[in-house]
Copies of this chain bind each other. A is one copy, B any other.
Amino acid sequence: MDIEQEIEIIKRGAVDLISENELRDKLKKAKSEKRPLRIKLGLDPTAPDLHLGHTVVLQKLKQFQDLGHTAIFLIGDFTGMIGDPTGRIEARPALTKEELLQNAETYKEQVFKILDPDKTEIRFNSEWMESMSAADMIRLCAKYTMARIMEREDFKNRYTNNLPISIHEFLYPLVQGYDSVALKADVELGGHDQIFNLFVGRDLQKAYGQESQVLVTVPLLEGTDGVNKMSKSYGNYVGIDESPDIMFGKLMSISDELMLKYYVLLSDITMDAFKTLNDDLKNGKIHPRDAKVNFAKEMITRFHGGAEAEAACMNFEKIHREKEIPDDVEVVRLKKENDTVWIPKLLLDMGMVTSTSEGKRMIGQGGVSVAPIDAGSMIKITSESMAADKVDGEIFKVGKRKFKKVVFEDKQS
């Protein structure tokens, strides 16, 4: 493959590429020296529970890997083991070595569904940071100015608003940047929101006499609602460990527009194939529903396997066809509160009725039904209470046209 084609693949869906010329030079040099480029991706050492949003950058890393380069998966265990000694940043509790190793195992298990283990280096920054002395730390700090650090929005805002910043918080980005020096990274990947930290690595490599790494950032993935970034707290996520049926339902519920974004950022299809898909959608050669089915199958195949993807698709179609349910049923995620669910409250929480009295009235009038997979048609609900097990993952219908699917939190079947 020629270098311009490689660059096109690397640019796919990326927000920043700093800079294209430097990337071109590195690719040329790598080719002439017959060595792969070293691609760094730094990860939080806390236990992962990955959703598709996290996999965007992994997908970018995989593209590099497919081009023959070396993926380096860097786990920031050094800072993880220190935690936040001020106790102010809640997201940074100190972790033990054992917890960190266990988190690393969980990571591997999940990310090797995307990456090729044989072409992936798993590294820990404690390898070089644990033996670093205070004197070396001071020397490292000498390579960076306060003005540059204060370009980071959160620092600037906190300083301007007189909110406390501990000095050690300045050291963490420097440690992360030094990781690029230690790893001799050619390219660093990250979310667009991490751009400042990636720049630190670039600057420090230069200060330590290395060639600066190229930066590639990817966008934050929107959740299934198409509004907010995908996040557990918004309930708009597709977890990579969720069951095939739930994944399928969620992915079928997204808008046509969002589907195209997901294709660019998550699918393995080539950009040429993507252009053809786009044309076919415009010409009506392919129905958006079928494009969504293909995409959902690709994701489920990636995380569960091909047979599971086919089965999920068949289940989905059976239920929806037999029971005349539309494909894009919204999935609502709720906390499971009891083993028995009071349906009028459930319908209220799902936003299908405006009060529990309306819910009670609708049940009394035979206007609420549910679609279990083993029944040939929708089943009318006659009782106001149901076992939580029977509710979880089911599609509810209220009146003639309102359909919503409920999933209880943390169900990983």
Contacts and interface: CB of A to CB of B under 8 A. Distances in A.
Interface stretch (A157-165, A273-281, A343-351): A157-165
A16 interface: no
Interface stretch (A48-56, A133-141, A222-230, A394-402): A133-141
Nearest to A149: B167
A99 to B, nearest CB: 17
Nearest to A135: B82
A86 B139 CA distance: 8
Chain A's interface size range is 35 or more
Contact of A171 (B81, B141, B159, B164): B141
Contacts of A175: 134, 138
Contact of A132 (B134, B142, B162, B168): B134
A167 B174 contact: yes
Given A167-B141, A167-B142, A162 B147 contact: yes
A144 interface: yes
Interface string A159-196: 10010111110111011000000000000000000000
A412 interface: no
Contacts of A165: 145-147
Contacts of A172: 138
A388 to B, nearest CB: 45
Given A167-B174, A168-B141, A171-B141, A159 B135 contact: no
A83 to B, nearest CB: 10
A130 interface: yes
A156 to B, nearest CB: 11
A84 interface: yes
A130 B146 CA distance: 25
Interface in A43-100: 78-79, 81-82, 84-86
A164 B138 contact: no
A134 B170 CA distance: 13
A129 interface: yes
A171 B86 CA distance: 17
Given A134-B129, A134-B132, A135-B78, A142 B174 contact: no
A143 B171 CA distance: 13
A86 B138 CA distance: 11
B142 A85 contact: yes
Nearest to A165: B146
B130 A147 contact: no
Contacts of A79: 138
Contacts of A168: 138-142
A162 B151 CA distance: 12
A144 B86 CA distance: 9
Contacts of A141: 166-168, 170-171
A119 B167 CA distance: 37
Given A82-B139, A139-B82, A139-B85, A146 B134 contact: no
B86 A142 contact: yes
A129 to B, nearest CB: 6
A159 B145 CA distance: 10
A172 B170 CA distance: 15
A180 to B, nearest CB: 17
A137 B137 contact: yes
Contacts of A132: 133-134
A81 B175 CA distance: 22
A165 B143 CA distance: 10
A164 B141 CA distance: 13
A78 B145 CA distance: 22
